[in-house]
Amino acid sequence: MDKNTQYGSDQIEILEGLEGVRRRPAMYIGSTNATGLHHLVWEIIDNSLDEALNGYGDKITVTIHKDGSISVLDEGRGIPCGIHPKAKIPAVQLIFSTLHSGGKFNDEAYKSSAGLHGVGSSVTNALSEFCDITVYRDGKIYHLRFEDGGRKLAQPMEILGETKKHGTLITFKPDKKIFSTVEFSYEKITSHLQQDAYLLKKVRFILIDERNNIKDEYYYENGLKEFIEKINAEKTPIGPVITFSGTQDKIETEIAMQYCYNDYNETIRSYVNNVHTADGGTHESGFKAGITKAVNDYAEDNNLLRNKVKLEGSDIREGLTAIISLRMPESVAELEGQTKGKLNTQIAQNIVSDLVYTNFTYYLNENKEFAIRLIKKCQESQNARLAARKAKEEARKVRKTKESIILSDKLTPAQSKDYKNNELFIVEGDSAGGNAKKARNAANQAILPLRGKPLNTDGLTIDKIKSNLEFATIINVIGAGVGQNFDVEDIHYNKVIIMADADADGAHIQTLLLSFFYNYMRDLITQGHVYLSVPPLYRVYKKDAKNNIVDSVYVWRDEQLEEAKNKIGPGYEISRYKGLGEMDAIELKTTTMDQKTRLLVKVTIDDPLAVESEVSTLMGRDSDRRKKWLESNVDFSTNDSFINEVKRNG
């Protein structure tokens, strides 16, 4: 062995750390599927983000290479390369080979959850075939390279030459022995970078894909303001995007918000140190409190309240889109919950609510016409809320007196009235609907076949939608109202499952239904009640002398095909499915309906941009893209089964 590639005794410990990462990767990156794979990229980019956040470098370039590797280049100060006094090796080498805490190398004010040499860089090294590091710093170009999950220091640090540049370039290739897929998704990375660009204004993000020569660039002068403009691009605003910012007790707050007509939803998205806080927390509740108080106080002071009845928070948030971004030292950022998605820092509540209250009150007083339009809209929401409550009470009375209402002659209802266990399958086409009827469990599964393409409901009024037979039926069958009157507490099915074919028409139908649910029954999606049926890719089986299938396995992922062949053994045959339409009732039952063996995909829409762009355009186009979408958005590891077995006797 070359003496340069040998490790000193003090580095044994280091190696054991990286070995631990390889043994239990999920502990460090969540999973070893596409989500985990991209986690490596976010970990590395976070370092460049932090460097930019602290004022060093305003351009970050990500390049996906043909060989399956990826690079991240920034124009920051460059990772320190001096010899570390205790470890007696270059700091940069130490950073990539130890599972250190971030604090040792960095005492900057701001830090994203994973950035600036948290364990991120060494975890990425541990899970990569190679990790190549070039640093431009102090007029010199430093280079070093690890291979084989960091086990081999293939090229110790050396100075390659001189430079006027400063920055860091990391290239790594994820290890195919670790990940179930090592193919980077352009869609995932581009949308991640776009979000980063919105959150980090005036920093340029470039994505280059050398596999097919495509390129995207994101740069936003005003950040959050442009984020809101993008989300609301198709809506009718009541006023402009309003922004607030301030710093108090080391917490830096930036907020942008806008009200729109014809939108019954509130879209509030919050971040702490550039990381999305999906479960909200003190910053979100502070924001809501500030807005509610500002609007009510203004209305009260200007005698705009009716009968002195205050508006409720929900009346004031209908049609509101807001982004809340907080930056704070890591020591102050208390993030809780399993996914660290909830901010628990108590002072953030008051800081945000005071900031919003003061500034929004000022804004309302300075913009009287807007204030009056807004309060009028809030009162309309209030009216609708009160009317809906009344209607609901009436409806409950009626329901109690009459035995049951005839919902639709197209619906094959479930026998049980135990709504918590019932499932509604919305099925494309009458023939698939027929199979679904045969395959269902009559006790708790209902079938609603759709004839042809449903109406595109984008931007339509509730009345228009209700006058469409197809949607009137869906609304009736689900039984919980629509638009502002939708109440997820009243749904008649715990799962609403869209069963569409994997072709262009099917994808389009799926899109139309999803955007309807997203716009007019949003809680149905956010509370996790909407699912997609996904047909398997293959069936591997064996036949007996009489040509009956005796043993078979369905496969949803290419990677599982070999395993399936081994399971069935010599003499196996394979059929490939293009869609649900090709299946008979028994196959349909096993793969998509039987709770014990099926694969369902829960629809989660987290990315506000994805709703506008992905759901309405991406999925609508063709089935290839749908397949891609499923691949990059479905976390197969969280589903009960992605390879399932059916054994039949004789």
Binding site for ligand TSJ (CB under 6 A): 44, 47-48, 51, 72, 74, 76-77, 79-80, 95, 105-106, 116-117, 120-121, 168, 170
Instruction: Tell me the closest approach of the beta carbon of residue 41 to ligand TSJ, in angstroms.
Output: 10
Q: How far apart are CA 134 and CA 78, in angstroms?
A: 9
Active site residue 503: yes
Taking alpha carbons only, the member of 352, 193, 344 closest to residue 287 is 352
Taking alpha carbons only, the member of 436, 448, 450 closest to residue 506 is 450
- CB closer to ligand TSJ out of 74 and 551: 74
| Residues counted in the chain | 650
Let me know: does 553 contact 646? Beta carbons within 8 Å.
yes
- CB closer to ligand TSJ out of 120 and 454: 120
Instruction: Tell me the closest approach of the beta carbon of residue 249 to ligand TSJ, in angstroms.
Output: 24
Q: Which residues pair with 256 in a beta bridge?
A: 243, 323
List the structure tokens of 37: 């794979």
- CB closer to ligand TSJ out of 120 and 413: 120
Instruction: Tell me the closest approach of the beta carbon of residue 176 to ligand TSJ, in angstroms.
Output: 21
Alpha helices in 302-420 (DSSP H): 313-317, 346-366, 368-401
Give the H/E segment covering residue 261. strand 251-261
Catalytic residue among 129, 187, 428, 614: 428
Catalytic residue among 19, 108, 354, 505: 505
Instruction: Tell me the closest approach of the beta carbon of residue 195 to ligand TSJ, in angstroms.
Output: 18
Instruction: Tell me the closest approach of the beta carbon of residue 43 to ligand TSJ, in angstroms.
Output: 7
Let me know: does 43 contact 25? Beta carbons within 8 Å.
no
- Residues 6 or more apart from 3 whose CB is under 8 A from it? none
Handedness of CA 60, 634, 209, 127 (dihedral sign): positive
Catalytic residue among 503, 523, 582, 635: 503
- CB closer to ligand TSJ out of 95 and 257: 95
- CB closer to ligand TSJ out of 79 and 328: 79
Q: How far apart are CA 179 and CA 49, in angstroms?
A: 26
Give the H/E segment covering residue 538. strand 538-543
**DSSP 8-state symbol, 194:** H
List the structure tokens of 311: 């508006």
- CB closer to ligand TSJ out of 100 and 627: 100
Give the H/E segment covering residue 562. helix 561-568
- CB closer to ligand TSJ out of 170 and 231: 170
Handedness of CA 489, 495, 501, 503 (dihedral sign): positive
Catalytic residue among 74, 284, 318, 501: 501
Instruction: Tell me the closest approach of the beta carbon of residue 82 to ligand TSJ, in angstroms.
Output: 10
Let me know: does 259 contact 380? Beta carbons within 8 Å.
no
- CB closer to ligand TSJ out of 125 and 511: 125
Sort strands 342-343 and 423-428 into parallel, antiparallel or unpaired: unpaired
Active site residue 505: yes
Instruction: Tell me the closest approach of the beta carbon of residue 136 to ligand TSJ, in angstroms.
Output: 10
Q: Report CA dihedral (482, 484, 486, 488) to the nearest 10 degrees.
A: 150
Instruction: Tell me the closest approach of the beta carbon of residue 253 to ligand TSJ, in angstroms.
Output: 25
Active-site positions?
Answer: 428, 501, 503, 505
